[in-house]
Amino acid sequence: MAHIAVIGAGLAGLTATQQLATAGHQVTVFDKSRGSGGRMASKKVGDASWDMGAQFARAHSADFARQLAEWSHLGVIQPWQPQIASVSRQGVQASADDVRRYVGMPRMTGLSRHLLASAHHFEASTRIVDNRQLDNDQWLLEAEDGRHFDGFDALIINTPPQQAIPLLSHSPQLQQRCSTVAMSPCWTLLLATEDLPQLPDAAFIEEGPLAWVARNNSKPGREPGESWVLQASHSWSDEHQDAPREEVMHQLLEAFGAIFKLSEFKIMNHWLHRWLYAIPNNPLSETCLSDRQRKLAVCGDWCGGRSLEAAWISGRSAATELLQQLN
Ligand SMILES: Cc1cc2nc3c(=O)[nH]c(=O)nc-3n(C[C@H](O)[C@H](O)[C@H](O)COP(=O)(O)OP(=O)(O)OC[C@H]3O[C@@H](n4cnc5c(N)ncnc54)[C@H](O)[C@@H]3O)c2cc1C
């Protein structure tokens, strides 16, 4: 049995964790956040809660479709069948499709928690700032607060590429591959409002500041109060990356009101979040990166795509790679 460290409790790192644990290894997961999920995170303010990052999972490959069916069978995710609209210059139009969308239960992080249960230990609120291999080839990790963690036979790094670069000073080739991937930001406004029954459950928006809005409480198992997730487009978020928060909130609210012709509506709670590294613009074409000599793999959606499915594929690929190296 090997002892393996995973830096980053996103879907990729946790998928790898579960696969490595199933193969009989002991996995310790580190994340700088208090909880798991990464860009699949949920947010709670007062009585309201929202899926703040990934909104739903869908499958393009047969493998991921099977995985979604399995998680659904376990009750970790459930289908979500929103009334969807598309918003263009022509206005708001119903836009039914036959996409099977799944959401974590009772929020997106339900899925990350399920996967995390396979870890031997979760070291939350721990930002890893340095790592190196000792003379016995074992990995030593150093946290921002000065704590050290050692005794790891292998290492997986599951962070956005910009956050992986400082952790790869020993592997310049991998560092270089990471530096080629650019990530776009995404401003996200979460609202708890009075009931807005005239609106669709979700909408894809073609132009203007917003790209996607969704009624969070139309998803299964959510708190009943009316709650909305408003996600800005990546181009608008890029242009307004450093804009004052009040201005961002004002513009997103104005766009929401204008699209759905809402003159005024009551807001009980809100939260504005800027995802700095939201979506990869130019993902790599391999599913993970690895340094065989060092028993090191790097994974994340940005290796092969820009979705939960890509993260899952990358996590599986990193675990498979390490299992070969450990044999
Ligand atoms: C706003 C938004 C909406 C999205 N909507 C969808 C959607 O509807 N459907 C879909 O399929 N995909 C969606 N995505 C994409 C999806 O969320 C990602 O593809 C997926 O979650 C990426 O998972 P990951 O494991 O690669 O990385 P992440 O989820 O980014 O995980 C990386 C983890 O590493 C941690 N970390 C970073 N640096 C360190 C460090 N030094 N030490 C310790 N921990 C560290 C972070 O805290 C994080 O938890 C969306 C993304 C965003 C931002």
**Chain-centre distance of CA 51, in angstroms?**
10
Domain ranges of the chain: 3-40+110-180+284-326, 62-108+182-280
Does residue 202's CB lie within 6 angstroms of at least one atom of ligand 1? no
Does residue 11's CB lie within 6 angstroms of at least one atom of ligand 1? yes
Both structure tokens of 34? 């208090």
Both structure tokens of 84? 């969807």
Does residue 269's CB lie within 6 angstroms of at least one atom of ligand 1? no
Architecture of domain 62-108+182-280: Alpha-Beta Complex (3.90)
Query: Which amino acid residue places its CA nearest to atom 31 of ligand 1?
Result: 10
Helix (H, G, I), strand (E, B) or coil at 176: helix
182 sits in the region (left: phi over 0; alpha: psi -120 to 50; else beta) called beta
Ligand 1 centre distance from Cα of residue 60 (Å): 19
The domain 3-40+110-180+284-326 having CATH identifier 2.30.30.100: the answer here is no
With a CB cutoff of 8 Å and minimum separation 6, the contacts of 265 are: 193, 194, 196, 257
DSSP string, 231-258: EE-HHHHHHTTTS-HHHHHHHHHHHHHH
**Confidence at residue 44, expressed as pLDDT on a 0 to 100 scale:** 95
Task: List alpha helices for 157-270, DSSP H.
Answer: 161-164, 172-179, 234-239, 245-259
Does residue 7's CB lie within 6 angstroms of at least one atom of ligand 1? yes
Ligand 1 centre distance from Cα of residue 198 (Å): 32
Atom of ligand 1 nearest to the CA of 30: 43
Ligand 1 centre distance from Cα of residue 17 (Å): 16
Task: List alpha helices for 79-186, DSSP H.
Answer: 109-116, 161-164, 172-179
**Confidence at residue 96, expressed as pLDDT on a 0 to 100 scale:** 86
Preceding amide of 224 cis, omega within 30: no
pLDDT tens string, the chain, 327 residues long: the values are: 999 999 999 999 999 999 999 999 999 999 999 999 999 999 999 989 999 999 999 999 999 999 999 999 999 999 999 999 999 999 999 998 999 999 999 999 999 999 999 999 999 999 999 999 999 999 999 999 999 999 999 999 999 999 999 999 999 999 999 999 999 999 999 999 999 999 999 999 999 999 999 999 999 999 999 999 999 999 999 999 999 999 999 999 999 999 999 988 999 999 999 999 999 999 999 999 999 999 999 999 999 999 999 999 999 999 999 999 998
Rounded CA-CA distance 221/51 in Å is 12
Does residue 53's CB lie within 6 angstroms of at least one atom of ligand 1? yes
Does residue 39's CB lie within 6 angstroms of at least one atom of ligand 1? yes
Which residue, 274, 289, 290, 283, is CA-closest to 307?
283
Does residue 33's CB lie within 6 angstroms of at least one atom of ligand 1? yes
Q: Which of 34, 39, 115, 271 to mutate to test the pocket of ligand 1 (most atoms within 8 A of CB)?
A: 39
Does residue 109's CB lie within 6 angstroms of at least one atom of ligand 1? no
Does residue 159's CB lie within 6 angstroms of at least one atom of ligand 1? yes
Query: Which amino acid residue places its CA nearest to atom 50 of ligand 1?
Result: 54
Ligand 1 centre distance from Cα of residue 10 (Å): 6
Does residue 161's CB lie within 6 angstroms of at least one atom of ligand 1? no
Does residue 20's CB lie within 6 angstroms of at least one atom of ligand 1? no
Does residue 278's CB lie within 6 angstroms of at least one atom of ligand 1? yes
